[in-house]
A and B are shown apart, each in its own frame.
Chain A
Amino acid sequence: DQQVKQNSPSLSVQEGRISILNCDYTNSMFDYFLWYKKYPAEGPTFLISISSIKDKNEDGRFTVFLNKSAKHLSLHIVPSQPGDSAVYFCAAKGFGNEKLTFGTGTRLTIIP
């Protein structure tokens, strides 16, 4: 039951360049999407979110884009920094629903 999919298990990006992490979903009832960052031996840390009524949300170096018709969202990090090296999870929830459905994660490595 892979309602949220992150098809790239890993991604390497040069420091200073743009990192683009992708996420696809199948459940059209999802109306809110979140990105989390996770370091080893720590819990997921909330990064940025977007409501289904928007197509873009920006917070500093992080921008999330949502394409509802394609059921696709992406996280852009620019410029990428060494501290951004972590596993990134996208997550989704439905209206009035509390649970988050997570993707399998993408391990981002920033190369100095």
Chain B
Amino acid sequence: EPEVTQTPSHQVTQMGQEVILRCVPISNHLYFYWYRQILGQKVEFLVSFYNNEISEKSEIFDDQFSVERPDGSNFTLKIRSTKLEDSAMYFCASSAGQGNDGYTFGSGTRLTVV
């Protein structure tokens, strides 16, 4: 079964530092997403990415966040200057097409900002 791979599984960073979360989506998928879940809260949409550009983003995804697909396989989320409230599980997901797919999620990266 193809899967979405995320690294690292856990990242601890100091407030104000930059972090890059990495994802390898399923190889034939075209749409890529980042979601996050703050502890005890619901899973929230951050951004979707298609054809090398952001197709949709939420109000959470401010100027501190950026996404990139630097090569044919990786999809990254960068947080420029982390804040304590960025501590959360970050999930990458991918889908084969826009529409009513059940997106495939990765296992997540737990980001802890201290």
Contact = CB atoms under 8 A, between A and B. Distances in A.
B45 A32 contact: no
Interface stretch (B67-75, B80-88, B98-106): B98-106
Nearest to B9: A41
A51 interface: yes
Given A89-B43, A99-B56, A41 B33 contact: no
Interface residues of B, number: 25
B41 A99 contact: no
Contacts of B103: 46, 100
Q: Size class of A's contact patch? A: 20 to 34
Interface string A39-55: 00111111101010000
A98 B45 CA distance: 10
A93 B48 CA distance: 13
Contact of B108 (A43, A89, A99, A101): A43
A58 to B, nearest CB: 16
Contact of B107 (A32, A42, A93): A42
A45 B56 contact: no
B42 A102 contact: yes
Contacts of A85: none
A49 B101 CA distance: 9
Contact of A43 (B31, B100, B107): B107
A44 B91 contact: yes
B55 A98 contact: yes
Contacts of B104: 46
B14 interface: no
13 contacts: A41-B108, A44-B105, A89-B42, A89-B43, A91-B43, A97-B56, A98-B33, A98-B56, A98-B98, A99-B33, A99-B56, A100-B103, A105-B42
Interface of A: 32, 34, 36, 41-47, 49, 51, 89, 91, 93, 97-105
Given A93-B100, A100-B43, 4 more contacts: A36-B105, A43-B93, A47-B102, A100-B45
Q: Which 3 A-B pairs have the closest CB atoms?
A: A46-B102, A43-B105, A99-B45
